[in-house]
Chain A
Amino acid sequence: MIANSHDLEHPMDKYLRTDRLPHVWCPGCGIGTVLSCYLHAVDNLGLDKDKLVMVSGIGCTGRAAGYVDMDSFHTTHGRAIPFAIGLKAMKPELNVTVFSGDGDLFAIGGNHIIHAARRNADINVICINNYNYGMTGGQLAPTTPETAYTTTSPYGNIEPPFNLVGLMAVSGAVYVARWTSIHVRRLTKSIEEALEKRGFCFIEVLAPCPTAFGRRNEMRDPVESLKYFKEQAIVKNFVNPLEATIEPNKKFYVGKFVDLEEEMTFEDRLWLMTSEEFLKAPSKKRKEMILGVRRHVKEHMEVLLHTPEPTEEGGKGEGV
């Protein structure tokens, strides 16, 4: 027996600023689970934490950058992506992950993320979708499902939500996946893939928000929310992302939607532009050198128009 709980060291403590724990997130909040999955993925890959950077914006999820013991940015609202792109452009050896919420990335930062995907910036984006603005008291977000109750939609939401994976896939992301916070193992594997992949990788994670969203939508208990996710989620890879919408009390797809081969990234083109070879080349040659951009978009459309047959993932089991 160990006498004092302060003597116990959690295996992930080496990546955490333990003096700041326990963190601010509510009991049962999914953000802690996703952070745990991210740290497990880093641990499984054996990455050097001096080469990892976490960038996050404002909101509940934005607090994550303050808890990890690696270089991290807690940026202005919605601007996590521009910070991350700038960082990656100047320090290509770093592995940059944007860890932020749906409100930060898709409401105030909506333009930044679609353009980062279009440029194929070499960053990983983990977007935690809890269906509402949790930190400010549970207001309507662009991801709130139709008919859901929030503080600013007391009669039920009348607007259709964004389909985040569909939006990212058509914008040009090379890796698009969606999981929920109950699918911890598959989420960890997905984060591992994203960390190793070049180009713009996007992972949406549906997470319960028991305090702000669940309380008004009959999911006050985090256990109930997770059971709902487990029942409603259909695990399938390479479903057409445009069909993977989230509707209230209906089944939704989780899995990997897009996984394209290595492409020329934004940073590659940026460094190409400053290379001597490029500057000295005649204009016709320069055009050829930049054409990676067009190939990227064309291949992308082909994938979306002729999606491969959906594949079932895993056995029956627990489905997590």
Chain B
Amino acid sequence: MSSEAKIIKLLRDHSLALPRGRVYVIEDRCKGCGLCIEFCPKKVLHQSERFNAKGYHPPELIEEPPLKVCIACKFCEMICPDFAIFVEEVSAEEVGGMEEGAECTNGGG
């Protein structure tokens, strides 16, 4: 069992709440540099196929992430040079179980 899975198990047993986040992307500000995708500790993002108004590919949430839930660390929010991504901390009940913990709202599209 990987250490990450152990932690998940412990969290389940003791019903501890892990912080959860909901990711928002302001697509028209994105310049597609990929820093949020690369440095996300949970790797919840990937580059989308869509184009924004400037012709870049904004990030979007990976579908069906097994352990990949946004834990609201807000690293993407801080590292984004374009003020294009931010995270809202939400309660676990609001976003459902562990597996479907992350949610992404893409504006426009």
Contacts and interface: CB of A to CB of B under 8 A. Distances in A.
Interface of A: 1-8, 10-13, 16, 21-23, 25-33, 35-37, 40, 181-182, 184-185, 188, 222-223, 226-227, 318, 320
B86 A28 contact: no
Contact of A8 (B26, B33, B80): B26
A22 B107 contact: no
Contacts of B86: 10-11
Nearest to A34: B81
A4 B52 CA distance: 12
Contacts of B9: none
Interface string B8-52: 000000000000000011111101111100110100000000000
A22 B77 CA distance: 15
B35 A222 contact: yes
A148 to B, nearest CB: 22
Interface magnitude class on chain B: 20 to 34
A36 B107 contact: no
Q: Which of A3, A22, A29, A227 has the most CB of B within 10 A?
A: A22
B107 A8 contact: yes
15 contacts: A4-B108, A6-B108, A7-B107, A10-B83, A10-B84, A21-B83, A22-B84, A25-B81, A27-B32, A32-B83, A33-B35, A33-B80, A188-B78, A223-B38, A226-B35
A226 B78 contact: no
Contact of A28 (B28, B33, B84): B33
Given A4-B107, A4-B108, A11-B86, A184 B29 contact: no
B99 interface: no
Contacts of A3: 107-108
A160 B82 CA distance: 33
Nearest to A207: B81
A5 B28 CA distance: 7
A226 B33 CA distance: 12
Contacts of B84: 10, 22
Given A27-B56, A28-B31, 16 more contacts: A2-B105, A6-B107, A7-B107, A21-B29, A25-B81, A27-B31, A27-B33, A32-B82, A32-B83, A33-B78, A36-B80, A182-B79, A222-B34, A223-B35, A223-B38, A318-B41
Nearest to A21: B29
A32 B78 contact: no
Contact of B26 (A10, A27, A32, A227): A10
A28 B35 contact: yes
Contacts of A226: 35, 38-39
A125 to B, nearest CB: 21
A40 B25 CA distance: 18
B8 to A, nearest CB: 19
A253 B79 CA distance: 21
A36 B105 contact: no
A320 B41 CA distance: 11
Given A5-B107, A8-B26, A10-B26, A22 B80 contact: no
A320 B80 CA distance: 15
A16 B24 CA distance: 18
Contacts of B79: 33, 36, 181-182, 184
Nearest to A223: B38
